[in-house]
Amino acid sequence: MIAGVLALQGAFAAHQARLAEIGVESRQVRRPGDLADVDALVMPGGESTTMSKLLVSSGLFDPIAARIDGGLPVLGTCAGMILLAAEVLDGRPDQRCLGAVDITVRRNGYGRQLDSFECDLELTGDPGGPPFHGVFIRAPKVERCGPAVEVLAEHDGVPVLVRQGRVTVASFHPELTPDPRVHARFIDHVHVHVHGEAP
């Protein structure tokens, strides 16, 4: 299995490090040809309006949209969540989103850079397990989840990690902690629900 990591902006190298820790080969995606052989895609954080423009100028936006429509599994974190959402509040009028998850998010919903914070999160399906340390940096806030969206973690009653079908999105940066469980769960989900394999 090969996971593509969008490498236009953000901590894409950290995502590659987490994937390597769980034995998954990855490659950086910078142009449409880089998508050819990937079995999943990670869309990292960054500045969502800039990333939207870079996706268009690089020629990647439409090929990624087509691959997602065709069933490509995707993990989006922070700005990646914004780009994959169905509706974005406080975004730029020309900002394009992929609409892959039926959620409404508010850009910088937890505040600006000075309001960044860290907290421990309980991952669903892991009762009694160690908390996951969430790093929130100018994070988007989920204000609505559609009926098909599964909530995998919350902070103060607000979803911060959700999944719909083959697309998982997080408000926080799981790549910035040494805990690879969010990436591992995403890859396990790909194996079970896409390839029909045991994790």
Q: Which residues are catalytic?
A: 78, 173, 175
Distance CA 58, CA 15 (A): 21
Distance CA 189, CA 168 (A): 10
Q: 87: alpha, beta or left, given left = phi > 0 and alpha = psi -120 to 50? A: beta
The SS3 of residue 187 is helix
147-170 burial, b for 16+ CB within 10 Å, e for fewer? Answer: eebeebbebeeebbbbbbbbbbbb
Distance CA 184, CA 70 (A): 23
Distance CA 18, CA 184 (A): 9
Distance CA 188, CA 127 (A): 18
Of the candidates 92, 115, 105, 86, which has an alpha carbon nearest to the alpha carbon of residue 171? 105
Q: Are 145 and 159 in contact (CB under 8 A)?
A: yes
